[in-house]
């Protein structure tokens, strides 16, 4: 194949091959595929003798190179999806909400505030509250142990809870 014949093939086949490649690939990468096709045709110009052979060779080359482009796109998309997934998982692990250390610190801080607030309760309310909530005793058993009536135990626990709520709300307002 001479250079003149090559130019003729290029001029005649390029629009048809461009349309074919566009149907296979969309608008992206068509120019690259066609450039590669005609470069391959030029490199094999001595092996190709007839016009029918040139036409079949160029269509087959466009098809093969288009498949390679599509495979490459699939690899890139899978890689991109894997990277995004990995970044999302990393962000989730580093999130303050998912962080055990931050959660444990918050729990410890709350526990310290609650302990301090309980320590500041009047002695009888403190004892009734502690026996009820920390030792899981029933009010009847607490009344027997403290030597007071069940209604008095109820009043001590009620006062303790009201005091704790007030103190813990004030503590939360001071930390924010």
Of 92, 112, 130, the residue that ends a domain is: 92
Q: Do residues 111 and 53 both lie within one domain? A: no
Q: Do residues 88 and 9 both lie within one domain? A: yes
Q: Do residues 88 and 10 both lie within one domain? A: yes
Q: Do residues 122 and 79 both lie within one domain? A: no
Number of structural domains the chain divides into: 2
Q: Do residues 28 and 63 both lie within one domain? A: yes
Q: Do residues 112 and 171 both lie within one domain? A: yes
Q: Does pTM top 0.75 for this prediction?
A: no
| pLDDT band, residue 176 (cuts 50/70/90) | very low
Predicted pLDDT at 158: 92
Q: What is the domain range of residue 33?
A: 3-92
pLDDT in tens, 76-126: 888 887 777 787 777 776 666 666 666 677 778 888 888 888 888 899 988
Average pLDDT, the chain: 84
Q: Do residues 57 and 128 both lie within one domain? A: no
Q: What is the CATH number of the domain that holds 46?
A: 1.10.1740
What is the rounded average pLDDT of the residues 161-170? 83
Map the chain to HEC letters: CCHHHHHHHHHHHHHHHHHHHHHHHCCCCHHHHHHHHHHHHHHCCCCCCCHHHHHHHHHHHHHHHHHHHHHHHHHHHHHHHHHHHHHHHHHHHHCCCCCHHHHHHHHHHHHHHHHHHHHCCCHHHHHHHHHHHHCCCCHHHHHHHHCCCHHHHHHHHHHHHHHHHHHHHHHHHHHC
């Amino acid at each position: 194949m001479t250079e003149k014949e090559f130019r003729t093939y290029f001029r005649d086949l390029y629009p048809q091959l461009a349309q074919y490649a566009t149907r296979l690939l969309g608008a992206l990468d068509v120019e690259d595929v066609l450039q590669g096709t005609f470069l391959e045709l030029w490199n094999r110009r001595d092996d190709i003798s007839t016009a029918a052979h040139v036409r079949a060779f160029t269509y087959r080359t466009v098809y093969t190179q288009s498949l390679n482009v599509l495979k490459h796109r699939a690899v890139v998309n899978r890689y991109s999806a894997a990277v995004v997934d990995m970044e999302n998982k990393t962000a989730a692990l580093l999130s303050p909400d998912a962080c055990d250390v931050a959660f444990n610190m918050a729990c410890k801080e709350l526990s310290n505030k609650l302990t301090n607030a309980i320590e500041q309760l009047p002695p009888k309310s403190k004892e009734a509250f502690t026996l009820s909530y920390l030792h899981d005793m029933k009010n009847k058993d607490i009344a027997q142990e403290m030597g007071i009536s069940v209604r008095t135990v109820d009043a001590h626990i009620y006062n303790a809870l009201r005091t704790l709520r007030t103190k813990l709300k004030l503590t939360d307002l001071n930390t924010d």
